[in-house]
Amino acid sequence: MFSSVAKAAKLLSLGEPVFIHDSSSREDEVDMVYHASFIDQRRISLLRRIAGGLICYSMPKNIGEALGLKYMSDILRASGYAELASRTLRYGDPPNFSLWVNHINVSTGIRDSDRALTIKELDKVVEMVVEGRVAEAKEKFYREFVAPGHVPILLGRGLNVRRGHTELSLALAELAGLRPSVVIAEVLDVGSAMAVSKVREVADKLGSVVVESDEIIKEWLGRNLC
C-alpha cells in the first residue's frame, strides 16, 4: 500500500481525521473525513470549524437501496421537478444526495451533539445491513429517523462509476478494513475552497495527511482487480 494511503487508512481506523483531494480536473477540493463509528460532538465541531463545508453522511448505493433509499434527483424528477433535477454542475457527475434526516431524539437537529447522534445511529443502521440484518436495519431506520433533517445522506456509486469524495472516502474505509460508513465535509477558505497547499499545513498541525484521489484509486483497483 502506498505510504500516504497507508497512513490515511491507519488514521481513519483510529478515529482521526484524514483529508482527500479529488483532483485539479474535477472539483479541485479537499474533504475532511472521519469514519462514522467514531463520530461524537467534538469531531462534528472540528468538521464545522476546521472544514466548514456541508457535513454529510456517506454509505454505498447498495446499502441505501437495501434500506429503500433513492437519490434525491430521482425523487424530484418523479415529483414534477425534472427540469431542476436534470442539470449537473460543471464537473459533470450526478449528485449523490438522498434524504436529509434527523434522529428522532435530537433537539433542533443542527447542534453538534444532534448531528453526532444522527450520524452515530445511521452508522448502526449500516452496521446491521453489513451483518445481514437488513429487516432489522430497515425497521430501525423508519422508526427512529425523521425527514427532512439536518444530515444529508450520500449514496456512493463506486469508484468504477464515479470518482468524487463520497466514493473516495468509502474506498479508503474499505482499504482500512472498516465498514462503508463515513462522514465528509469540504475544507473551505474565505470565498472559495481552501488551496491544497494550505490544507496540507492544516493536516500537518493535526498529525494527519492529505491523500490524492489517484493514490486511493490505484490502491483500490489493485485490490479489486486481483
Asked whether the predicted pLDDT for residue 31 surpasses 80, the reply is yes
The predicted model scores a pTM of: 0.95
- Residue 142 catalytic? no
Set of cell numbers at residue 223: 485490490
- Residue 56 catalytic? yes
| pLDDT band, residue 2 (cuts 50/70/90) | very low
CATH node for 3-224: 3.90.870.10
Q: What pLDDT was estimated at residue 1?
A: 43
Q: What pLDDT was estimated at residue 226?
A: 54
Task: Select which of 74, 81, 91, 142 is catalytic.
Answer: 91
- Residue 21 catalytic? no
Set of cell numbers at residue 113: 451533539
Among residues 133, 177, 159, which one has the least CA distance to residue 215?
159
Going from the C-alpha of 16 to that of each of 65, 206, 208, the distances in angstroms are 29, 9, 8
DSSP 109: S
Set of cell numbers at residue 226: 486481483
Among residues 78, 68, 89, which one has the least CA distance to residue 26?
89
Q: What is the mean pLDDT of residues 209-226?
A: 87
Task: Select which of 22, 112, 174, 186 is catalytic.
Answer: 186
- Residue 186 catalytic? yes
Q: What is the pLDDT of residues 84-117, one digit of tens each?
A: 998 888 777 889 999 999 999 999 999 999 999 9
Task: Select which of 27, 29, 31, 123 is catalytic.
Answer: 31
Task: Select which of 102, 112, 121, 123 is catalytic.
Answer: 102
Asked whether the predicted pLDDT for residue 224 surpasses 60, the reply is yes
| Sequence-separated (6 or more) residues with CB below 8 Å from residue 82 | 76
* Strands in the chain per DSSP E: 18-21, 30-35, 56-60, 97-103, 145-156, 182-186, 188-189, 192-193, 210-212
Average pLDDT, the chain: 94
Going from N- to C-terminal start, the domains of the chain cover: 3-224
